[in-house]
Structure 1
Amino acid sequence: MNFSDLGLSPSLVQAINQANYEAPYPIQVEAIPAILQKRDLLGLAQTGSGKTASYILPILEDLQGIENHRTRSIPILVIVPTRELAAQVEEVVRFFGKHLPRKVKSMAVFGGVSINPQMMNLNGTDILVATPGRLLDLLAKNAITLDRLRTLVLDEADKVLSLGFKLELDEILARLPKKRQNILFSATMDETVEGLIGKLLKNPLKIEIQAEEVTPDLINQTAYLITQEKKGPLLRHLISEGNWQQVLVFASSIRTADNLTTKLNKHGIQAMAFHGDKSQGARMEALKQFKGGKVRVLVATDLAARGIDIQALPYVVNFELPRSPKDYIHRIGRTGRAGMQGEAISLITEEDQHHWKVIQKKMKRWVEMVDALNIDF
């Protein structure tokens, strides 16, 4: 099945094709038509199942049918548990939406940073991706209104509740118009999630995607325990001392990818960034330069990296860990192809160690850890 079979317009399918999505994931096959039909939806799926695109794509399609606005009334609200997920979801919106005829304005808002720049930029926002606390802050300051909300998405509902946001969530839901579409995703089901489902959803379509068991190919994997500040120097040391000539580095955000690319070039290591803020032409040129050996390092985000297919890639580096074990397998699987030895290196901070254990447990393989905390590079 193709994305064009799911009820998406040619302009959106074109954006999907430019993102190198070959075929929809199972959750997308079921969710996209239902969301386009304005049904409520319950999705039980792990991170890495394709759930973000399963709701972003039909929402972008829906917005093509309404006029741009210059108000602070938000038509689409996506609630997420963490600032990292907020940034990633908003990146998906921009990645798929930038070629559409009707321009879509999106914003990610979260705490831990000044609220004033966020407030100044909210006018005309179509899709607001927000953590519960910062959303309530904005509502309290009358920076936005939700009286004309068309669609509510609650992503990773189990994590929202486990982080103690139940009271905040109840307050937000009380402010929403009764007539709206509701979409809820959760990786797990417990009593609190079931209670939220009963309160939030009306006759929803239920989609349940079982997590896949994944086993990596025989790739030589190594992890380095390192501080965040020393990640860059360690990466440059590994590339220079090992004389690595073709290195695919994964970063979790566009900002990190750009900053890392700049620093590598400043230190004489030719690098180019490959992410959703680059035009299709720029991404194709970066890939061409990388494959041709003219660029030593390609720094990519997961979203854009679907279009990278290099048969004899020798090195993959996880500068930052992905959010799911499935994405980790997808990353390191870019090396070790065509009967050639591949190296996969992960830079792990102390804060990453729990998540790193989850990844190793999922792939049923323990990776040698090199303690680099006290080494100067």
Structure 2
Amino acid sequence: MTKYASISDFQNAEPELVELRRHLHAHPELSHQEKKTAQLVAAKLEGWGYEVTPNIGGHGVVGRMRVGNGNRSIAIRADMDALPITEAAKHEYASTIDGVMHACGHDGHTTMLLGAAEYLARTRNFSGTLNLIFQPAEESGIGSGAVAMIADGLFDRFPCDAIFGMHNHPGAPEGTILMRSGPLMAAADTVTITVHGKGGHAARPHLCIDPVVVGSSIVMALQTIISRSVDSTETAVITVGTFNGGTATNIIAESATLTLSVRTFSDQVRALIKERIYKVVETQAASWGATASIEYDSGHPVVFNSPEETEFATVVARELTGEGNVPECPLIPGSEDFSHFLQHKPGCFIRLGNGESSAPLHNPAYDFGDKSLTTGAAFWARLTERFLAQE
């Protein structure tokens, strides 16, 4: 019977993984600035015998290794960039870069994939092609690293049958692996609405068209889209994040601006909400004698895990940690640019417990849970061995 990687296979490597993770944590780099991180990744992969291609879609790095005669190929992705946040923690490996920290755990994601890379290069218990994708600029929003790498020919240059990715999950116990088939994380769209009224003196509102009043009407009307236009079995969010209008108490402004965040979990609901926002804004503005212009920026699509690859990853996770440690992941209203990869290839995005007491993502007090490093590295190694099982 073939022996696949286990968590115990990484126990001796745990101190080195912790040291590497904390080094990356202390030296974070923002989106599109991951030069030193990419150089470190490339050097380690080259030292282990991978064929390394740097500068894909910016500072992206791909390490490829072919073993045996297998025809299958797998891609595994880790993100590398940090966030413009000042770290609150005072531990000895705190960020050394003012105003920049790994507040989303990408230091841990990179470390886990490197840990698996070293093990797989040493044991070579697979037959086929392994593509390790170290992605820049996950946090940059529109124009993110995933989009850039795909545009730079990622899947043409490094074909794969399926792609997998992982993100830590604060609130879930360390060592647990959360899975969900189908939609997992939301599509994220940004809407800017500018209401055009007629300015004038605050004491003579009857001679004006007050864009603040019009905008307020729009805010309230938008709340009915989810409750009255979207199927009650679906999940969606419309949040008015900003509302700016006016410069003084005695002036009715010429215009006011609102910005919205829209989160959806299906293409159908996403399209419906876009249609309804246009209709609500235009008719509300017209009812006051105003006009409105709308800029609708479509962000990352839904993270949609393909059923077959999710079932496979779930089986591997249960083999590795035990069935009780692989709960179903709840829907996550946050977004992820891994979704762009899943529009090109079948695959699965996985969540890894970061501790029940973990600070939330994008929080100044956040830190990656080092106890999860061996679980994540072992999962990637076993997933690869099982996906590229030798005949």
TM-score between both structures, scaled by the size of structure 1: 0.25
Structure with greater proportional strand content: 2
Larger Rg: 2
TM-score between both structures, scaled by the size of structure 2: 0.24
Higher RCO (CA 8 Å, separation ≥ 6 residues): 2
